[in-house]
Amino acid sequence: MHPLREQARNLRQRGKSYHEIETRLGIGRSTLAYMLRDIQLTEVQKARLDRRQRRNQIHFGESQRRFWNKTSGRSDNPKQAARREIMRQRRLAYCHARTGAELETFKSKMRAAAARRYKPHNPIQPPRTLDQATYRMCLRQAPLLGYHPNWNYVISRGNGYVAVKCPDHPRCTPRGYVPVHRLVLECKLKRPLLSKEVTHHLNGKPDDNRADNVTNTNPSEHAKAHARPCLMNQLVCSFCGKSFTRPKRRKIPLSGNVFDTQSCVARFYNLGRIGRPSPRRLPPEEKRRRKAAYVRRWRQRRREALDKSTTTC
Ligand SMILES: [Zn+2]
Ligand SMILES: [Zn+2]
């Protein structure tokens, strides 16, 4: 018998795995499997190989399953059981500290989050939020605009909008996605949209991207379209008594004084000149007339004073 072959048989009889023999002797595992097919291993040796195999088998699903419900691969070693219990307690404490929830709730939450994150999409059909007519129109129109959306990669954003992979679009995100509503509008208008042009969903649903549901607006019009109606207060001016309206969000002060105009505020609190226009703004003849009247009044008063002093003396 070939010496290498003899060595291989020896090693196998001592319970070594094909991998161990391969690394030691340099014979391929398929060759070994053929050469050593008649050697039977004892139960102890088989258990050892099993353990080795399980130790090396760590892939995502398996490890996750083992992490959450430790049922497989358990030994009856009391020391290990105690360690398991400690780890379980620690996990519980961690879950509780982090979410305030018990382990079961935490688990279901984690599963729900994972399901949300890895929601599989149908690679052939466009998502249900796109109707067939819109989809077909975009398929026809988008190439005419110089780019082609890859409808295999349609994602739903967390904010309710839907984006499509379209890496040759001039305004795609760094990852190559373009919001579907913008693409639909571009296809409808048959021209690329400017960045200052805003697409508005008429029925308010951000994932309803039918061609007749999207319109082109500017930011100001769009803000108006989305503005909630302002609640108004019907009030009466504390100075002039006129009634006026004012947004409810503007607080009424503790004094209860409300004014319709700023001039009412000034006159109520006696600020500035009151009810008298600035003399500088008077026309010159009016200014002259007032000065003459003042002089006349001054002279009159002086004459009266002189008369009084002469009578008393
Ligand atoms: Zn809008
Ligand atoms: Zn007023």
As a whole number, the mean pLDDT across the chain is 79
C-alpha–C-alpha distance, residues 267 and 3, integer Å: 117
Pairing of strands 214-217, 150-156: unpaired
Pairing of strands 162-165, 150-156: antiparallel
Q: Is the pLDDT of residue 84 over 60?
A: yes
pLDDT tens-digit readout, 85-111: 888 887 777 777 666 666 667 677 777
Q: Is the pLDDT of residue 124 over 80?
A: no
Residues 199 and 142 in one domain: yes
Q: How many domains would you assign to the chain?
A: 4
Confidence of residue 116 (pLDDT cuts 50, 70, 90): low
Of 46-55, 108-117, 174-183, 235-244, the range with the lowest mean pLDDT is 108-117
Centre of ligand 1 from the C-alpha of residue 205, in Å: 9
Confidence of residue 122 (pLDDT cuts 50, 70, 90): very low
Which-ligand-closest: CA of 224? 1
81 CB neighbour count, 10 Å cutoff? 12
Residues 77 and 26 in one domain: no
Residues 163 and 111 in one domain: no
Residues within 5 Å of ion ligand 1, judged at the Cβ atom: 200
Task: Residue 163: give its domain's CATH number.
Answer: 3.90.75
The whole-number pLDDT of residue 80 equals: 81
Supply the range of the domain harboring residue 187. Answer: 132-226
The whole-number pLDDT of residue 244 equals: 94
Which-ligand-closest: CA of 225? 1
Centre of ligand 2 from the C-alpha of residue 262, in Å: 8
pLDDT tens-digit readout, 64-75: 455 555 555 566
Residues 140 and 221 in one domain: yes
Residue 18 lies in a domain: yes
Q: Contact 277/268 with Cβ under 8 angstroms?
A: no
Residues 64 and 28 in one domain: no
